[in-house]
Amino acid sequence: MKKNSLTIILSCVAVFCFCFLSNSFAAKKKIVIGHPACLSGKYAKAGEQAVGGIKACIDWVNTNYGGVTLDGKKVPLEYKYYDCESKKESVTSLLGRLITVDKVNVVFAPYSSGLTLRGAPVSESNRMLYMDHGGANNKIFTQGFRYVVQTIGPATAYHEGTLNMIHMTDPEAKRVALAYEDSEFAKMVMEGAETHAKKLGFEIVFKRTYPKGVTDLTPLLSALKASKPDFILGGGHFEDGQLFNRQMADLDINSNALSLIAAATLPAFYEALTSMAEGVMGPSHWEYGVKYSKSEAKKVGMEWIGPGQDEFVALFKKAVGKDTIPDYHAAEAGAQVLAYVLAVEKANSFDTDTVRKALGDLTFMSFYGGWDIDDSGLQVGHSMVDVQWQDGKRIIVWPREARTGKLVYPIPTFAEKAKGKIATP
């Protein structure tokens, strides 16, 4: 009996020591990215994309790039993620585990500004680099966090490109209508759009919001129709964007241009609306077809890293096991992996402060486009593209240097579209 228990204790100690040793041994052998991902709950859609994008880029770094160069040796990346259910309570508890138990070297924030903010104090107090690919709220970067770094562009910039484009295409257009979802993110986009529109000399003839989870927009859209805008900017999330477009068609509200954030850039948008979506635009952080490449980077004198666009798409498909083109949620999360890899190589260390400093000095280009942050960690180097649905395909129409086709302006009316007219230049 006594002997038995002694053996048990000894073997426990042995196992423990082994775990401890192998753990500290392993820490030098790989770099671990931790991620409390949103795989279920309200952000499941964007969360799945992000996980796919991260997996794709890690795959590229480990196989094509050979790993991260550290002290002349190649170190592979590892990805550790849990499902936070899109809930704040789970974000912090999983972060605690990632940082102390899994001993990750960097944490990727969960999707949305709220969840990003919930995790920030915990990563901050653990002196852990916290990279934000899904929280667009500008105010995250005025809170004094030291280790929060953004890859997604700030919310206020979403509709700036669209306004520039219309301003240059049609100097006659003056009347703009703004109709956004009443949420922290969409309100910030609206604020940015309003300021920029005024700067360009547009007149804001309509400015209203609709609550989250709305199922009927008729009263708002009738009022919008009465204000006779030249073009309409709006949206908020996925479902309300489809509703917005559909009910505009139902009420026969036509304008020269319609741009909706979030919803309009997804393939499901056109599948749901078919011809009604012709000519509808949306700003996007990244879209399949953008012309960022190694040679393009060379032209503008920027460093290049990462897979080419088609390579990324192929790796993404492999990672999620589905034959779908990734959307921008995947691309921005993937680009974040590349930013981290470059910064670690430049710093030649994975110490948080050193890497954070290297990230501050870093400017590079990848399939996702430019990447550069200001002192607070806010993304300033990435410009958004504008996508327009033309004949069932997503065509990048802005900015000029990245475009894959010409802008259709004004777009066909809903009556014309119902008869089969498509938006082609």
Partner 1 sequence: MFFEQITGNLIQGLVLGSVYGMATMGLSLIFGVLKIVNVGHGAFIMVGAFITLWLFNTLGLSPILAIPAAFAVGMLLGLLFYYTTMRRLIKAPELASLLATFSIGILLEEVIKLIFGSEFRGYNWAVGKLNLGVTVLPMSKLYACIGSAIIALLLYIWFNKTRAGTAMRSVVEDSEGARVCGVNVDGTYAMSFAIGIGLTVVSGVLLTMFIPVGINPYMGGGYTLKAFVIAVLGGLASPYGAFFGGLVFGLIENGSYMLFALIPGVEPFALTRFLSFVILLIILLIRPTGLLSTK
Partner 2 sequence: MKTISKYYPLLPVLAVYFIMFLVGKNVSGMWQLVAMLLFYCALGQAFNIFLGMTGYVDFGYVAFMGVGTYGMAVTITQLAHVEGLGFLVITIGFLMALLFSTLLSLAVGAVALRLKGAYFAIATIGVNEGLRFFIEGARIWNGSEGLIFMAELNQILGRKTASALATFWADIMVLFIAMSAAYVTLLFMRSKIGYALTALREDEEAAKVMGINVTKYKIIAFITSACFAGLLGAASWALKTPYVFPPEVFEIHYTIEAIIIVLLGGAGTLLGPVIGGLIYGLSKYYLSIYMPGFQLLIFAPIIIVIIVIFPEGIIGMLKNRFKDTSLARFII
Q: Is 140 in the site for partner 2 (CB under 8 A)?
A: yes
Handedness of CA 391, 393, 397, 400 (dihedral sign): negative
22: phi > 0 → left, psi -120 to 50 → alpha, else beta; which?
Answer: alpha
Q: Is 214 in the site for partner 1 (CB under 8 A)?
A: yes
Q: Is 105 in the site for partner 2 (CB under 8 A)?
A: no
Residue 85 binds: one of partner 1, partner 2, none (C-beta under 5 to 8 A by kind): partner 2
User: Interface with partner 1 by CB under 8 A: which range of 73-81, 247-255, 380-388, 389-397?
Assistant: 247-255
Nearest CA to 284 out of 382, 384, 381 is that of 384
Q: Is 413 in the site for partner 2 (CB under 8 A)?
A: no
For residue 133, give the 3-state DSSP assignment. coil
Q: Is 317 in the site for partner 2 (CB under 8 A)?
A: no
- For residues 23 to 62, the per-residue mask of contacts with partner 2, x marking binding by CB under 8 A and - elsewhere, is --------------x-xx---x------------------
Cβ closer to partner 1: 81 or 398?
81
Q: Which of 70, 204, 251, 378 binds partner 1 (CB under 8 A)?
A: 251
Residue 216 binds: one of partner 2, partner 1, none (C-beta under 5 to 8 A by kind): partner 1
Q: Which of 90, 123, 156, 209 binds partner 1 (CB under 8 A)?
A: 209
**What is the DSSP annotation of 318-368?**
HHHTS-----HHHHHHHHHHHHHHHHHHHHTS--HHHHHHHHHH-EEEETT
Q: Which residue has the tokens 């477009």?
A: 245
Q: Which residue has the tokens 């000894």?
A: 10
- For residues 180 to 219, the per-residue mask of contacts with partner 2, x marking binding by CB under 8 A and - elsewhere, is --xxx--xx--------------------x-xx-------
- Measured from the CB of residue 273, what is the shortest distance to partner 1 in angstroms? 6
Cβ closer to partner 2: 97 or 357?
97
- Restricted to residues 16-55, the positions that interact with partner 1 (CB under 8 A) are 42, 44-45, 48
Position 45: which residue type? K
Residue 162 burial (CB < 10 Å; 0-12/13-18/19+)?
buried
- Measured from the CB of residue 37, what is the shortest distance to partner 2 in angstroms? 7
Cβ pair 320, 383 in contact under 8 A = no
User: Interface with partner 2 by CB under 8 A: which range of 19-27, 140-148, 158-166, 200-208?
Assistant: 140-148
Q: Is 271 in the site for partner 1 (CB under 8 A)?
A: yes
How many helices and strands in the chain, by DSSP H and E? 14, 17
Residue 144 binds: one of partner 2, partner 1, none (C-beta under 5 to 8 A by kind): partner 2
Helix (H) or strand (E) holding 281: strand 281-284
Position 420: which residue type? G
Q: Rounded CA gap, 370 and 386, in Å?
A: 16
- Restricted to residues 216-235, the positions that interact with partner 1 (CB under 8 A) are 216, 218-220, 222-223, 226
Helices 184-199/160-169 angle, 10° precision: 30
In the DSSP assignment, the letter for residue 251 is T
Q: Which residues contact 220 (CB under 8 A, 6 or more apart)?
A: 179, 208, 210
In the DSSP assignment, the letter for residue 111 is S
User: Interface with partner 1 by CB under 8 A: which range of 18-26, 29-37, 245-253, 367-375?
Assistant: 245-253
Q: Rounded CA gap, 114 and 52, in Å?
A: 22
Q: Is 356 in the site for partner 2 (CB under 8 A)?
A: no
Residue 401 binds: one of partner 2, partner 1, none (C-beta under 5 to 8 A by kind): none
Site for partner 2, rule CB under 8 A: 37, 39-40, 44, 81-85, 88-90, 92-97, 99-101, 113-114, 117-118, 120-122, 124-125, 137, 139-140, 142-145, 182-184, 187-188, 209, 211-212
